[in-house]
């Protein structure tokens, strides 16, 4: 039994599709609302919220491999419960900032979960992706309403990753034994700037979009209400204020692990263009 948490998310949903298509199983998906979730036929949908231990402990029964999205509940307790239930291998979704920006609070939080997993007694694989292509969905409302896209650091290029490539690596890690005890830094195949991301979305839509670069201070003011001040600072450091060679490096990990080339941002934009219409 393989259990996928975050099963309706950008990575978890694709991971379930990939696992189902590869013929492995049985598969179980943890979701807060089983009535609204849409999973492949044969996937067992189990209601549960990682923030509520009474709801997710039954989901571990019979599970041998787990895909874990952290920070959705008490991670130490979740890992302990998984170990006691007999889970043998955990694939953890972490972040590349653990190695590129270890001084930042969110990176320290991810490193702590990595430590807990490695000391849990279970086999482990850690995935450290860079910036998600799907982060640009934050622009969808503005695009639909015909407004300009406002973002800082318009010409800072990062190797943004397609969430489906994270899912592809997770699927291999969950189903093939050679990936236990490995930590994988994951990026897309090329660096792309916010300005280029807007251009790719515009091309997919078939119409022009306006891009307006704003200052860090303006962006911070917009983000504080959503993320809080510390997280807003961390996001802005990672996306442009403190970009280093380690963060901007394009890596071939996706192709080495999966045997398929990593998908460029323009492919993500084309596949998700409906969200911007």
pTM (2 decimals)? 0.94
Cα separations in angstroms, 79 against 14, 15, 120: 23, 20, 7
pLDDT score recorded for residue 245 = 86
How far apart CA 35 and CA 8 sit, in angstroms, is: 12
> Could you please report the per-residue DSSP string of 190-242?
S-B-HHHHHHHHHHHHTS---EEE--HHHHHHHHHHHH-HHHHHHHHIIIIIT
pLDDT score recorded for residue 233 = 82
How far apart CA 51 and CA 32 sit, in angstroms, is: 10
E strands, the chain, are: 2-4, 27-31, 44-47, 65-68, 89-93, 123-129, 149-151, 182-186, 211-213
Q: Which residues are CB-contacts of 126 (< 8 A; sequence separation ≥ 6)?
A: 91, 92, 94, 114, 117, 182, 183, 184
Which is nearest to 132 in space by CA: 4, 276, 246, 11? 11
Which is nearest to 59 in space by CA: 19, 139, 2? 2
pLDDT score recorded for residue 56 = 81
pLDDT score recorded for residue 107 = 92
Which is nearest to 110 in space by CA: 137, 131, 128, 135? 128
pLDDT score recorded for residue 209 = 96
Kindly give the parts of the chain with pLDDT less than 50: none
pLDDT score recorded for residue 36 = 79
């Amino acid at each position: 039994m393989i259990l996928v948490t975050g099963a309706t998310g950008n990575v978890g949903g694709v991971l379930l599709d990939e696992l189902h298509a590869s013929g492995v199983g049985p598969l179980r998906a943890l979701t807060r609302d089983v009535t609204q979730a849409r999973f492949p036929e044969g996937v067992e949908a189990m209601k549960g919220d990682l923030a509520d231990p009474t709801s997710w402990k039954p989901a571990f029964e019979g599970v041998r491999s787990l895909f874990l999205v952290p920070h959705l509940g008490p991670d130490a307790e979740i890992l302990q419960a998984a170990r006691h239930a007999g889970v043998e291998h955990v694939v953890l979704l972490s972040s590349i900032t653990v190695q590129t920006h270890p001084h930042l609070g969110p990176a320290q939080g991810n490193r702590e979960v990595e430590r807990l997993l490695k000391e849990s007694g279970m086999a482990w694989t850690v995935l450290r992706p860079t910036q998600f292509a799907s982060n640009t969905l934050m622009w969808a409302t503005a695009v639909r309403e015909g407004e300009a896209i406002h973002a800082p650091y318009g010409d800072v290029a990062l190797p943004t990753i397609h969430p489906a490539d994270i899912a592809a690596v997770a699927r291999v890690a969950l189903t093939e034994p050679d990936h236990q005890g490995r930590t994988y830094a994951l990026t897309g195949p090329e660096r792309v700037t916010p300005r280029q991301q807007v251009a790719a979305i515009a091309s997919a839509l078939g119409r022009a979009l306006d891009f307006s670069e704003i200052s860090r201070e303006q962006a911070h003011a917009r983000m504080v209400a959503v993320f809080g001040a510390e997280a807003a600072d961390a996001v802005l450091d990672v996306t442009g204020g403190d970009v280093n060679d380690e963060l901007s490096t394009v890596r071939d990990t996706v192709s080495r692990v999966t045997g398929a080339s990593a998908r460029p941002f323009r492919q993500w934009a084309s596949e998700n263009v409906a969200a911007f219409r």
